[in-house]
Amino acid sequence: MVTLNKIYTRTGDAGDTALGDGTRVSKASMRVAAYGTVDELNAVIGVARLAAAMPLATMLGIIQNDLFDFGADLCVPQSGDAEDPGERLRVTAGQVKRLEHEIDDANRDLKPLKSFILPGGTPLAASLHQCRTVARRAERHTVELADHETVNPEAVRYLNRLSDWFFVMARVANSHGKSDVLWIPGAGREDG
């Protein structure tokens, strides 16, 4: 259980922060950039959730909780030694599978795309597209971290699947694709 009774501690005033294992690192470190972007993603999901009806609002709430699990996973570096299952809170294959099932269920009712789509349509769809792009940025930061340190591979898979999830749910929010805004190549060019 977490107890937060004092919000500021002054321990990060010099530009460093403590990881979950007590190690102090720069606030500009790859690890902090990765879980900080996941925190940003969680905030933009909160905005999208305001416009969502059930069951989407519930699914977004579950994802927000998953992202706190993700932050807990990344804030405690994996040691070179194998961890005992359940020793640390880590993103699991089951969480990735849940996203895949939700994507498959939602995508079943959508017509295949014959063009890329522009972020927009309904306000909820536009917000979900913003979530998608922040999820992609969080994924890039996490992959960059994984190039230099050990990272739970399920965490990377989760973010990859999550951006796909937001794409499909944005189409659902656009009247099951009927309000998708299609990209028209070269539409803004003035030839001549």
Residue 15 backbone zone (phi > 0: left; psi -120 to 50: alpha; other: beta): left
* Predicted pLDDT of residue 76: 81
Checking if the pLDDT of 86 tops 80, the result is no
Residue 120 backbone zone (phi > 0: left; psi -120 to 50: alpha; other: beta): left
* Predicted pLDDT of residue 5: 66
Checking if the pLDDT of 59 tops 80, the result is yes
Checking if the pLDDT of 10 tops 80, the result is no
* Predicted pLDDT of residue 88: 75
Is the entire prediction scored with pTM above 0.75? yes
